[in-house]
Amino acid sequence: MENNVPKQILNLRNNVLLFRKFQLSIMKQLLLLLVLALYCVTTHAQTARTTAPRVMEVGAYLTSLRTSESTSRSSAFSADRVGHLLKDVQPAVYFYSGEVKTYGDHPNSLFTNSASLNNIDASSIEKQHIEMVTITIKATSDLSAIDLSVFSNFPNLKYIYILSTIETTESIISNLIRNNDSRYGIFYKIEKGA
């Protein structure tokens, strides 16, 4: 009587090669899984960075601009320009409750509040020279969404300044902002009791 024993069981050399092929296959699968995981993490980080607005206190914002200016020769945002827009008298537009008041030629600053934002597109504001928008928060009812898409027709707008005279926090202000655009520098100041 003849025994039929499969060759693979008896042939140890072939078994070792088969086991090595199995190890290579597992290594390739693990490497592919690692690459896929890294891709997902970086994609999620980029998405989170673009959707969450970076809101800073005005002093910290100016400091970060100065730091970036010292490390990079080309900066779209200038600490000196922001300081000039904040402290010096500028030609400006005031838009409250649907009423437009313009002071000076070619205004580069717009002052408004969150309640008036929805009517900006329908207003007669000179939009082409506006560089900074100051949004005032004077009451808790002003703590409503600030939709930045209303500024899409402002070609030179660079800065959104939120000035609060009520008790609030950076996280509350950040949560108010909708449709953030990376071309805007967003900063705030809280002046309690002003």
pLDDT at 141 (0 to 100) = 86
pLDDT at 53 (0 to 100) = 52
pLDDT at 54 (0 to 100) = 80
pLDDT at 34 (0 to 100) = 72
3-class secondary structure, 127 = coil
Per-10-residue mean pLDDT, the chain, length 194 = 56 55 68 73 56 78 85 69 90 93 94 91 89 93 90 93 92 90 91 71
pLDDT at 146 (0 to 100) = 92
- Domain boundaries in the chain? 7-49, 53-190
pLDDT at 12 (0 to 100) = 54
Quick: pLDDT tens for 25-80: 777 777 777 777 777 777 655 544 444 458 999 999 999 888 887 776 655 568 88
Other CB atoms within 10 A of residue 182 CB: 9
pLDDT at 36 (0 to 100) = 72
Q: Are 57 and 187 in contact (CB under 8 A)?
A: yes
| CA–CA distance, 83 with 92 (Å, rounded to integer) | 16
| CA–CA distance, 83 with 39 (Å, rounded to integer) | 40
Q: Which residue type, as a one-letter code, is found at position 46? A: Q
pLDDT at 93 (0 to 100) = 95
Q: Are 121 and 141 in contact (CB under 8 A)?
A: no
pLDDT at 135 (0 to 100) = 95
pLDDT at 133 (0 to 100) = 96
